[in-house]
Amino acid sequence: MSSQNGFYRFTGTDDYIVSPSLVDAVNCAIALERPLLIKGEPGTGKTLLAENVASALGMPMESWHIKSTSKASEGLYVYDTVQRLNDARFGDGDVSDIRRYIHYGPLGRSFSAEERTVLLIDEIDKADLEFPNDLLLELDQMRFTVMETGDEVAARERPVVIITSNNERELPDAFLRRCVFHFIEFPERELMQKIVAVHHDNLDSKLLDQVLIKFYWLREQNDLRKKPSTSELIDWISALLKSGISQDQLESHIPFMAALLKNEQDSEALSRYDDRGGELPTQWSDLGPRYNQ
Amino acid sequence: MFLDLFYGLRKAGVPVALQEWRMLLESLEQGMHACSLLHFYHLSRACLVKSEVWFDAFDSVFAEVFEGVEGALDIENEVMEWLRDPKAAKQLTAEQLAELERLTHSELMKRFLETLAEQDERHDGGGRWVGTGGRSPYGHGGVHPTGIRVGGPGRNRSAMKVAEERRFRDYRTDQTLDLRQTRVALRRLRNLTRSGNASELDLDETIDETCRNGGEIELVFRPPKRNNVRLLLLMDVGGTMDPYYEPVSKLLTALHEERGIRDFRAYYFHNCIYEQVYKTARLAASDAVPTGELFRMLNERWKVLVVGDAAMHPAELLQSYGNIDPRVVSETPGIDWLHRISAHFNRSVWLNPDDKRYWDQTQTTRVIRRTFPMFQLSVDGISEAVQALIGARVQA
């Protein structure tokens, strides 16, 4: 990263490869101080992006992992009434000071931080339908009021907000309007080679070819319920390397299938294909023109 | 030229408004585009388009507006690439297949000619590719959705080439567009009751109890509020329902994702309900469940949502052995089964994808409307149906 003319510029890190369009989207969001909404297939590194933006820009990170029960107000603060009640009963501390019982959530912490932070709101689509709408004002103005004390928390430095979504439900238009949007495409052959190199740098190039051919072929199979993604590919390569499998062995079958296919029906479908004597591709030209530019 | 992009997008149906446009201008002011068309492409997409569903439309408009900025395209190669691709036929999903099946021969020919016409236009250098929808049979069948490659080794990709590739065709599913509205309508399908484990602190009650206890803390818990609605979906599939694939699948998607509902079951039938319903839409004999079994398993508090066009031959509804499926012998007329369903369950409604105006023209629809309150399968109709399931009783 570099900071030119007062602008932060994100360019990816050594262990996180980004596509040029993602770099542009991240920088756009940073410069405009708008939330960045990231969508994409599971396993394409949406969550990792926030960590890497934080480390590249040298900012501390706050993350908020959304669950189906998450409420917007929890991200701002929680008022611990039970503790206060308890303290009142046993005479511990000053119960008249409500501030002692206000605990900031991730949003509250990043707004009140001294320096600019990266705030990750992970899997926003997991929450209730109205959840994004409840956060509109806070994300727009980067300020909120603690009801119990009347204190206003306003961000001195607007945090870099990165929001991820798995597309489980659609987000409201008003919310989308305020975001910079990026869709992480599934990496193509060339980018994938770079990504793999970050994790396994001493991989034999012919072996890597075989691995990727099998991997992309699997992804092309339409009857798979859950297509293997980048993270599964990395795990699979680790398994292959540990077992010391050779390139020839890889040509005819796919070992350690369990690392790639996480769904029982998918594994069965593939073993049936194998039993029928179905052929596996061994070179790039066996795949579609998409892989042979 | 920039405004062409804005209005082009709006014309193509991409939801862009001033707010997004200002966002883009702001980023341009800051020099984020770095005087490169590729950066500008990335920027404008990030600012203007908020869903991958619209990426394809964006690509087409962008290509059209900025064509010529980076030189002409090599169309010949592209067309050759399409023709050479052998995998096209395999790329069809079940949904697209369903689309295909319902096209008649003349429709198919018409579409094909239209597609040809469009390719010509594009060849000539204009290309009105906007709004064709990635689902035309030729778009998918004749053209590999992602196999399109604009000539040249794609190492140093220029913005035009990236835009022209239209790699996002697959994401273009117009059916997701008003899914959210459907979901919002379904949200009202709830009946909040407190049941289950007492896990939520009742603060008011705790303070009262503590006072009564002379300051000794007395924590009072209560069960959290939960949606107590259980929903049984009975759905007509095949035949006359095929044209309604889209609205019905929208409803299904919304229902499956609606986590608020406590329990949800779906069964399928063809035309009318007889002795058996099926667990899958394939209606295979192995998936059959006796309809009487539903009455045994599900109590009267289940809400019943029947989705079907209610249009069939009168005999299928009213006569013994009326089942159109020759594999199944159905002694009891379908109407009796419908009566039983409406009698067993307290609340049941019928969602009909046909236009309301034509309901009275079909005899069977008129008969069924006497048994089930019928609503049109639309966002408003779903709201009304939900109201009928939850709210005050509506006369059939």
Give the pLDDT confidence score for residue B153 in this predicted structure.
Answer: 32
Question: Which residues of chain B does A28 touch, with a Cβ-Cβ cutoff of 8 Å?
Answer: 27, 32, 42-43, 46-47
Residues A173/A208, Cβ–Cβ less than 8 Å: no
Give the pLDDT confidence score for residue A60 in this predicted structure.
Answer: 93
Give the pLDDT confidence score for residue A61 in this predicted structure.
Answer: 93
- CA distance to partner chain B, nearest, from residue A28 (Å): 7
Q: Which of A39, A148, A183 to mutate to test the interface with B (most CBs of B within 10 A)?
A: A183
Residues B149/B78, Cβ–Cβ less than 8 Å: yes
What CATH code is carried by the domain that includes residue B334? 3.40.50
Same domain, A144 and A196: no
pLDDT, greater one: B348 or B391: B348
The total number of structural domains in chain B stands at 3
What is the secondary structure of chain A as a DSSP string? -EEETTEEE---BTTB---HHHHHHHHHHHHHT--EEEEE-TTS-HHHHHHHHHHHHT--EEEEE--TT--HHHHHEEE-HHHHHHHHHHT-S-TT-GGGGEEE-HHHHHHH-SS--EEEEE-GGGS-TTHHHHTHHHHHH-EEE-TTT--EEE-SS--EEEEEE-SSSPPPHHHHHTSEEEEEPPPPHHHHHHHHHHH-TT--HHHHHHHHHHHHHHHH-TT-SS---HHHHHHHHHHHHHHT--HHHHHH----HHHH--SHHHHHHHHHHHHTTPPPP-SGGGS-GGG--
Give the pLDDT confidence score for residue B243 in this predicted structure.
Answer: 74
Give the pLDDT confidence score for residue B111 in this predicted structure.
Answer: 52
Same domain, A146 and A221: no
Which of B27, B84, B219 lies nearest to residue A28, judging by beta carbons?
A: B27
pLDDT, greater one: B311 or B111: B311
Q: Is the pLDDT of residue B109 over 80?
A: no
Same domain, A154 and A202: no
Per residue in B212-267, pLDDT (tens digit) is 887 777 888 888 777 778 888 888 887 777 777 777 777 777 777 666 677 888 88
Same domain, B6 and B144: yes
Beta strand pairing call for A102-104 and B221-222: unpaired
Domain that includes residue A167, residue range = 2-184
Same domain, A276 and A229: yes
pTM of the model: 0.63
Mean pLDDT (chain B, rounded): 71
CA–CA dist B287, A111 (Å, integer)? 55
Residue B24 lies in a domain: yes
CA–CA dist B292, B298 (Å, integer)? 10
Instruction: Please return the burial class of A253, using the count of CB atoms within 10 Å of its CB with bins 0-12, 13-18 and 19+.
Output: exposed
Same domain, B277 and B359: yes
CA nearest B149 in A: which residue? A290
**Contacts of residue B301, Cβ cutoff 8 Å, sequence gap at least 6:** B230, B346
Residue B186 lies in a domain: no
Reported ipTM: 0.79
Same domain, B215 and B247: no
Residue B189 lies in a domain: no
CA–CA dist B235, B251 (Å, integer)? 11
User: Do residue A169 and residue B30 have CB atoms under 8 angstroms apart?
Assistant: no
Give the pLDDT confidence score for residue A62 in this predicted structure.
Answer: 93
Return the SS3 of B358.
helix
Domain that includes residue B112, residue range = 2-150+157-173
pLDDT beneath 50, residues of chain A: 1-6
- Banded model confidence at residue B178, pLDDT cuts 50, 70, 90: low
Same domain, B56 and B133: yes
Which of A25, A82, A177 lies nearest to residue B42, judging by beta carbons?
A: A25
pLDDT, greater one: B98 or B21: B21
Beta strand pairing call for B221-222 and B200-201: antiparallel
Q: Is A89 on the interface with B (CB under 8 A)?
A: yes
CA–CA dist B361, A248 (Å, integer)? 69
What CATH code is carried by the domain that includes residue A67? 3.40.50.300
Which tokens is A217 given?
């072929």
Same domain, A119 and A6: yes
Question: Which residues of chain B does A7 touch, with a Cβ-Cβ cutoff of 8 Å?
Answer: 30
DSSP letter at B266 equals E
Within 7-66 of A, beta carbons closer than 8 Å to B belong to 7, 20-21, 24-25, 27-29, 31-32, 34, 37, 39
Residue B188 lies in a domain: no
Same domain, A70 and A204: no
C-alpha to C-alpha distances, B45 to A244, B55, B188, nearest whole angstrom: 44, 8, 35
CA–CA dist B101, B350 (Å, integer)? 26
Q: Is the pLDDT of residue B130 over 50?
A: no
Same domain, B309 and B328: yes
Same domain, A205 and A159: no
Q: Is the pLDDT of residue B188 over 50?
A: yes
Question: Which residues of chain B does A37 touch, with a Cβ-Cβ cutoff of 8 Å?
Answer: 50
CA nearest A290 in B: which residue? B147
Q: Which of A78, A290, A291, A293 to mutate to test the interface with B (most CBs of B within 10 A)?
A: A290
CA–CA dist B58, B45 (Å, integer)? 7
- φ, ψ (nearest 5 deg) of residue B251: -60, -45
**What is the C-alpha R_g of chain B?**
28
Residue B325 lies in a domain: yes
Same domain, A155 and A216: no
Same domain, B257 and B361: yes
Same domain, B205 and B239: no
Instruction: Please state which of the ranges A75-84, B61-70, B186-195 shows the lowest mean pLDDT.
Output: B186-195
Question: Which residues of chain A does B178 touch, with a Cβ-Cβ cutoff of 8 Å?
Answer: none
In one-letter notation, the amino acid at residue B68 is: G
Beta strand pairing call for A61-65 and A77-79: unpaired
Q: Which of A99-113, A276-290, B71-85, B174-188 has the highest mean pLDDT?
A: A99-113
Give the pLDDT confidence score for residue B175 in this predicted structure.
Answer: 37
- CA distance to partner chain B, nearest, from residue A239 (Å): 31
- Banded model confidence at residue B114, pLDDT cuts 50, 70, 90: low
The total number of structural domains in chain A stands at 2
Same domain, A25 and A150: yes
Same domain, B369 and B250: yes
CA–CA dist A272, B214 (Å, integer)? 72
Residue B180 lies in a domain: no
Same domain, B267 and B384: yes
Same domain, A161 and A236: no
Q: Is the pLDDT of residue B329 over 70?
A: yes
What is the secondary structure of B70-119 as a DSSP string? TB---HHHHHHHHHH-TTGGGG--HHHHHHHHT--HHHHHHHHHHHHHHH
Instruction: State the maximum Cα–Cα separation within chain B, in Å, rounded to a whole number.
Output: 89
Which of A7, A129, A290 lies nearest to residue B147, judging by beta carbons?
A: A290
User: Do residue B30 and residue A31 have CB atoms under 8 angstroms apart?
Assistant: yes
User: Do residue B51 and residue A181 have CB atoms under 8 angstroms apart?
Assistant: yes
Domain boundary among A168, A184, A200: A184
Q: Is A91 on the interface with B (CB under 8 A)?
A: no
User: Do residue A168 and residue B176 have CB atoms under 8 angstroms apart?
Assistant: no
Q: Is A289 on the interface with B (CB under 8 A)?
A: yes
Same domain, B369 and B356: yes
pLDDT, greater one: B366 or B191: B366
Same domain, B282 and B359: yes
In one-letter notation, the amino acid at residue B226 is: R
Give the pLDDT confidence score for residue B233 in this predicted structure.
Answer: 87
Residue B212 lies in a domain: yes
- CA distance to partner chain B, nearest, from residue A113 (Å): 26
Query: A-B interface: how many C-beta pairs under 8 angstroms?
Result: 105
Which tokens is A152 given?
């206003």
pLDDT, greater one: B315 or B119: B315
Q: Which of B31-40, B98-107, B264-273 has the highest mean pLDDT?
A: B264-273
- Placement of tokens 């778009």 in the chain: B139
Mean pLDDT of B321-348: 84
Same domain, A45 and A180: yes
**Contacts of residue B108, Cβ cutoff 8 Å, sequence gap at least 6:** B137
Residue B47 lies in a domain: yes
CA–CA dist A236, B298 (Å, integer)? 46
Instruction: Please return the burial class of B169, using the count of CB atoms within 10 Å of its CB with bins 0-12, 13-18 and 19+.
Output: buried
- Banded model confidence at residue B132, pLDDT cuts 50, 70, 90: very low
Nearest residue to A153 via CA among A53, A54, A73, A82: A73
Nearest residue to A61 via CA among A121, A120, A6, A123: A120
Give the pLDDT confidence score for residue B164 in this predicted structure.
Answer: 58
Question: Which residues of chain B does A81 touch, with a Cβ-Cβ cutoff of 8 Å?
Answer: 201, 203
Give the pLDDT confidence score for residue A161 in this predicted structure.
Answer: 94
Backbone torsion region of residue B152, taken as left when φ is above 0, otherwise alpha when ψ lies between -120 and 50, otherwise beta:
left
Domain boundary among A169, A184, A199: A184
Same domain, B355 and B244: yes
Domain boundary among A166, A184, A202: A184
Which of A28, A168, A178 lies nearest to residue B46, judging by beta carbons?
A: A28
User: Do residue A32 and residue B257 have CB atoms under 8 angstroms apart?
Assistant: no
pLDDT, greater one: B329 or B368: B368
Instruction: Please state which of the ranges A50-59, B308-317, B324-333 shows the lowest mean pLDDT.
Output: B324-333
Q: Which residues pair with B348 in a beta bridge?
A: B304
Same domain, A160 and A78: yes
- Banded model confidence at residue B161, pLDDT cuts 50, 70, 90: low
